[in-house]
Structure 1
Amino acid sequence: MFVLSLAIVLLLGALGGWCAQKIGLPRIVGMLLVGIGIGPACLNLLDASFLAVSADIRQIALIIILLKAGLNLDFSDVKKVGVSAMLLSFVPATFEIIAYTIFAHFLLKLSFFEAMLMGTVLAAVSPAVVVPKMVSLIEEKYGTKQCVPQMIMAGASCDDIFVLVLFGICLSVVQSGKIGWTSLLDLPLSIGSGVLLGLLFGIFFLFVQRKEKTMAYSLQMVLALALGFLAMGVETLLKPVMAMSGLLAVMSMAMWIRKKEEKKAALLSKQATSLWSAAEILLFVLVGAAVQIEYIAQVGWMSVVVIVLSLCVRCVGVWIALLPSKLSKKEKQFCLFAYLPKATVQAAIGAVPLTMGLACGKSVLAVAVLGILITAPLGAIAMELTYKKLLIKEE
């Protein structure tokens, strides 16, 4: 039944993506809807053994796209927009968390800390939605002169780490009533150790391929993927001892390979593109399958109001983060759209408060589900419809 479930996901996911594209929507919208339709919440066509490993499959797909992203990211481009990229990694999320803390407290009748916990679940931008589009823009050379896609990718990668650290702090506060400020140290530690591990893996990769000069590019891609999986494994092993971002390690490794061997990076990127064709379907269909829509009925329309108001506040945060940049108003508008989508993080942690038996668990999960259903298609469609109008194509 596992293999049958895999076939259903790939076939229907590809069909859903094709149908969405035919009516002018991004492929991922069709894939998400297929996932919701065939998942446990609706038709329940997927075997339990397949769903049990869906989180791991989603992670593998994320590793592939982040590997491709790193192979397309230039260190010099990131340096050009360093300040704004750094601000994008925490300012928009901070604004959105504050907004949820206020609006969810007064409109959904949650305590301040419960509302803040909801904010940390919803504040992370989805790398699964954003990164593939930014890679596509780099390849098409839209916005690359001002390094817009590079800046968004760099900011979005660290945004998730920042939000997940705050989520851990808020979770412990709601659960125990005590604030563990030492958890804040996890943020720089997670970023620093992730980048360091990525650089070490990048050096190792280049050492191996220089020793074995006849190694086929397909085998080099296998080696890069294996190191990416190893980075995620190291993160899991170190979790009880210290914080480390495996996904940031994957991206850093790929960026180091590009820095040292640009031609090789371009060829590896083509290999990653082939893998992404299948990984994209798996990722978004399984994100859709993870959406527990049965909880939506437990929250009223006021939840939609909270989400919309918080997104507006988030947009203010994005605009402020972009003030030091030299971007035009149109380019800044595109950045607002790029920072809207929620999906992977919310699908991964939305149910955690409920499984831990917290009183706010059902509300947090319901709003997380609504957040995915509203923002993932909205952000993807907005980026798809506006990038040619808002970004300048580099000749």
Structure 2
Amino acid sequence: MNVLLDIGVLLILGYTAGWMLNKIGLPKIVGYILVGVALSPNTSHLIGQDTIETTKPLMDICLAFIAFEVGGALKWSKIKIHEKEIVNITVLASIIPFILIALTVFIFGVIFPSLLPFGSIGNLSLALLLGVLASPTAPAATLAVIHQYKAKGKVTDTILGVVALDDAVGIILFSIVISILSMFLGDHKMVENAHLNAVYRISMAMFLGAGIALLMNLLSKMLQIKTEGQWIVIITSMLILCLGTSKLLQVDELLANMTLGLMIANRSNQHTKIFKVVERYTEELIFLIFFLLSGLHLDFTTIPQSIFLISIFVGLRIVGKYIGVNIGARAAKADTSIRKYTAGGLLPQAGVVIGLVLSISQNEIFSDISEVLLTTIIGATIINELIGPIITKLTLKKAGEIKNE
């Protein structure tokens, strides 16, 4: 098969599977992911490895659109209403899973040294890195479910706010952990770089997103953008420009595009039209392509290799998210529904966490644990991406924010 034929087959089969699952009350994106997994080179070899490599830019563009929409959902008026809840929940739902997983994995290594034979420092490194990788949430799956079922309400607004911020918190925690481990392992240069990289990646991503938003507003006025077709062209151009510049400057691509969406939503007179165009004409195709390609990247053969660590990671991450949301919401004196249901939208994981674990695997000082770390995270990602959308739908339905299916 050639790449174009591969993509055509994927789109048809994926859309059909999503339609069928929707008929039985499941989120369409689960069907997209399953088709991607079934046709993956890691599973059936029906799709070639070259398709995965060739379509990487397409997947990045889809993620840029998704991040843009997540940022666009963060209107200042909504953020202000739920400001305390969003901040408290974001911090605690990131830190508590980190603590639970890190402690449990380290104790597990002490009790069962034959299963984690990396020595005390190696096991500590593995425990801390697995803990910190539990923090980020993938916005794509959550947003897809919210839009498919047209969920609206305070729980939905809180979930979107937390999802938009916890990647930044995850990057900060990651840089702190890398710095601490580097001091233990003697890489002092990396300690300095980790702090600088975190500040640079986050701050420059926000400046870039705001700058592209300003450029988009200026161009739309200068070029007198009015029709929906014109808006599709200008939106796509600006998102790809933001994505490409992010890669050039080596800043956080997700955060840059979220900031772009946030600034357009709050500073553009045309924001309603812009996001309606995206939702009406591009969203369905973007979700279809993104989750099909995500499925192609997932490798089920990694699960048996680290089943015990995957179980610990997935189970304690869920528990940690629920505890963190509960404590954070109580501290902010949030509504009961926010306390009970927000965590259900914070379970999916994909892009950011995979990027972070790959950066670890490329560093020589973590060579002893990089393989088990990578297989654990990929295995956990498969589970979280499949169960996350289903749990998101169920919790939003219980919260009363999904009216019609």
Give per-residue Cα distances to partners, 1:300-348, cap 9 Å, x unaligned: 4464144313421232112222234453323322211011222333444
Please tell me whether the aligned partners of residues 36 and 293 of structure 2 are also in contact (alpha carbons under 8 angstroms). Answer: yes
Match of 1:329 among 333, 336, 352: 336
Change (3 A) 1:177 1:291: farther
Q: Where does residue 58 of structure 2 map in the other structure?
A: 57
Q: Distance in 1 between matches of 2:323 and 2:221?
A: 48
State the AA in 1 paired with 2:275: S
Change (3 A) 1:171 1:293: farther
TM-score by length of 1: 0.86
State the AA in 1 paired with 2:135: A
1:125 aligns with 2:137: yes
Q: Distance in 2 between matches of 1:186 and 1:91?
A: 23
Q: Where does residue 345 of structure 1 map in the other structure?
A: 352
1:232 aligns with 2:243: yes
Please tell me whether the aligned partners of residues 71 and 255 of structure 1 are also in contact (alpha carbons under 8 angstroms). Answer: yes
Q: Where does residue 378 of structure 2 map in the other structure?
A: 369
Change (3 A) 1:295 1:136: closer
Q: CA deviation at 1:384?
A: 1.3
Q: Distance in 2 between matches of 1:391 and 1:191?
A: 35
TM-score by length of 2: 0.84
Q: CA deviation at 1:30?
A: 1.3
Change (3 A) 1:392 1:153: closer
RMSD between superposed Cα atoms in Å: 2.8
Q: CA deviation at 1:355?
A: 5.2
Q: Where does residue 270 of structure 1 map in the other structure?
A: 276
Change (3 A) 1:4 1:97: same
Change (3 A) 1:341 1:198: same
Please tell me whether the aligned partners of residues 103 and 306 of structure 1 are also in contact (alpha carbons under 8 angstroms). Answer: no
Q: Where does residue 128 of structure 2 map in the other structure?
A: 116
1:254 aligns with 2:261: yes
State the AA in 1 paired with 2:239: G
Match of 1:294 among 271, 284, 301: 301
Q: Distance in 2 between matches of 1:379 and 1:212?
A: 42
Range 17-26 or range 321-330, more displaced: 321-330
Unaligned runs of 5+ in 1: none
Q: Distance in 2 between matches of 1:312 and 1:115?
A: 17
Q: CA deviation at 1:134?
A: 4.1
1:382 aligns with 2:383: no
Give per-residue Cα distances to partners, 1:83-118, cap 9 Å, x unaligned: 332233332122212222111222253611111112
Please tell me whether the aligned partners of residues 85 and 151 of structure 1 are also in contact (alpha carbons under 8 angstroms). Answer: yes
Which aligned pairs between 1:35-184 and structure 2 lie closer than 5 A?
35-108=36-109, 109=116, 111-135=123-147, 140=150, 142-143=152-153, 146=154, 148-168=155-175, 170=177, 173=181, 176-178=185-187, 180=191, 183-184=194-195
Q: CA deviation at 1:9?
A: 1.9
Which aligned pairs between 1:199-238 and structure 2 lie closer than 5 A?
199-213=210-224, 215-238=226-249
Give per-residue Cα distances to partners, 1:135-173, cap 9 Å, x unaligned: 567xx4621xx3x32332232122123323443554573
Please tell me whether the aligned partners of residues 68 and 261 of structure 2 are also in contact (alpha carbons under 8 angstroms). Answer: yes
Please tell me whether the aligned partners of residues 71 and 268 of structure 1 are also in contact (alpha carbons under 8 angstroms). Answer: no
Q: Where does residue 195 of structure 1 map in the other structure?
A: 206
Q: CA deviation at 1:218?
A: 2.1
Change (3 A) 1:105 1:271: same
Unaligned runs of 5+ in 2: 110-115
Q: CA deviation at 1:35?
A: 1.3
Match of 2:319 among 312, 333, 354: 312
Q: CA deviation at 1:28?
A: 1.4
Q: Distance in 1 between matches of 2:355 and 2:20?
A: 27
Q: Distance in 2 between matches of 1:261 and 1:141?
A: 24
Q: CA deviation at 1:60?
A: 0.9
SS state at 1:342 partner: coil
Change (3 A) 1:170 1:294: farther
Please tell me whether the aligned partners of residues 358 and 374 of structure 2 are also in contact (alpha carbons under 8 angstroms). Answer: yes
Q: Distance in 2 between matches of 1:225 and 1:287?
A: 21
Q: CA deviation at 1:361?
A: 2.3
Q: Distance in 1 between matches of 2:151 and 2:28?
A: 21
Give per-residue Cα distances to partners, 1:335-385, cap 9 Å, x unaligned: 110112223334444455445562222322222133223222322112212
Change (3 A) 1:8 1:125: same
Give per-residue Cα distances to partners, 1:56-102, cap 9 Å, x unaligned: 32221111122233334311211222233223333212221222211
State the AA in 1 paired with 2:59: R
Change (3 A) 1:159 1:185: farther
State the AA in 2 paired with 1:142: K
Q: Distance in 2 between matches of 1:169 and 1:54?
A: 33
Q: Distance in 1 between matches of 2:296 and 2:31?
A: 13
